[in-house]
Amino acid sequence: MRASAFVPGHITGFFRPMENEEPLRSGSMGSGVVINKGVYTNISLREADETSLEIYFNGDKGEHPVSGFAAKEVLRLAGARYKVEVYHESEVPISQGFGASAAGALGTAMALGRALGLPLTMNKCGEIAHRAEIANKTGMGDVIAECRGGLVVRLAPGAPGIGIVDRIPCDFAIVAWIVGPPIETKTLLKDDEKKKQIASLGEKAVEALLKHPDPESFMRISRKFAMDSGLMSEPVRSAVKALEEKHISASMIMLGNSVFALTRDPEALRDVLQYPMIVAEIDHLGGRLI
């Protein structure tokens, strides 16, 4: 049996980590934009004597623990044993703040559920993917945003159906640049003092955005959060500065060595920075079977 899903990527502008003993209530508040570049997941499976699982990410066979977690959770719900192959084809880089791990996990839950004939609701798939992210410390709010689509404000943390989101109407295009090597989310957020400071800045950022919820404020507040939080690497800081000199409001993609801007004319930004560039529209649909 075969099934496929597409899950859009998600660029976080700012966030407030909110840990909870219960993984489904753990996560973050914050805001980010869901983009129409993401992860395609194709599942191929057949019944077998023993359950086995192979996961490929852009052709690279590996452990891929976030998708692996999601696949194992779905397989536990199945009544028989299967040889399962999961193929991710990603349009966005990993460990650069595009929510690729969440998109892979959510796509795995949706497509594997479909291939197995399990009637999983979107929230159920979202819960599985959210727990996969929390368990692996790879993300805290990408799944609920990628389930919804749009310029998302996360008002309360948690998995879809538990966390609360709002949306800000937005039809800008998104341009992103990858300006340095990948970053592991968990390495940046292990210092308790740092986490407290980011939590305080993130809380203020959400409050500020809700006072004036429009795309321009989202960019301005994201940028302030990035500056004040000390999360920007040197290449990110230089790129944001270079863009500012050209009157382009940009900020860091949380958490990556990458920056983004909202624009009505992505072509005009093509030669502004000499880094790999990703151009996307906003995805308003959220993850779906295809």
Nearest Cα residue to 105 out of 232, 7, 4? 7
Among 38-46, 208-216, 231-239, 265-273, which window interacts with a second copy (CB under 8 A)? 208-216
CA distances from 288 to 17, 38, 197, 222, 278 (A): 27, 11, 36, 28, 22
Nearest Cα residue to 87 out of 66, 73, 113, 108? 108
The rounded distance, in Å, linking the Cα atoms of 151 and 146 is 10
Q: How far is the CB of 42 from a second copy (least distance, A)?
A: 16
Is residue 212 a contact point for a second copy (CB under 8 A)? yes
| 157, 25 contact by CB (below 8 A) | yes
CA distances from 3 to 23, 80, 108, 264 (A): 28, 18, 10, 35
Q: How far is the CB of 114 from a second copy (least distance, A)?
A: 7
Identify the DSSP state of 271. Answer: T
Q: How far is the CB of 77 from a second copy (least distance, A)?
A: 13
Q: Of residues 10, 114, 154, 223, which one binds a second copy by CB under 8 A?
A: 114
Residues 6+ apart with CB under 8 A from 164: 154, 155, 156
Name the residue nearer to a second copy (CB basis): 93 or 141: 141
Residues 6+ apart with CB under 8 A from 234: none
Is residue 284 a contact point for a second copy (CB under 8 A)? yes
Name the residue nearer to a second copy (CB basis): 5 or 248: 5
Q: Of residues 36, 54, 155, 281, which one binds a second copy by CB under 8 A?
A: 155
Q: Helix or strand or coil: residue 21?
A: coil
Among 19-27, 36-44, 119-127, 134-142, which window interacts with a second copy (CB under 8 A)? 119-127
Is residue 44 a contact point for a second copy (CB under 8 A)? no
Q: Of residues 11, 110, 134, 189, which one binds a second copy by CB under 8 A?
A: 110
Is residue 25 a contact point for a second copy (CB under 8 A)? no
Instruction: Catalog residues that contact a second copy under the rule CB under 8 A.
Output: 110, 114, 119-124, 150, 153, 155, 160-161, 164, 166-169, 171, 210, 212-214, 217, 284-285, 288-289
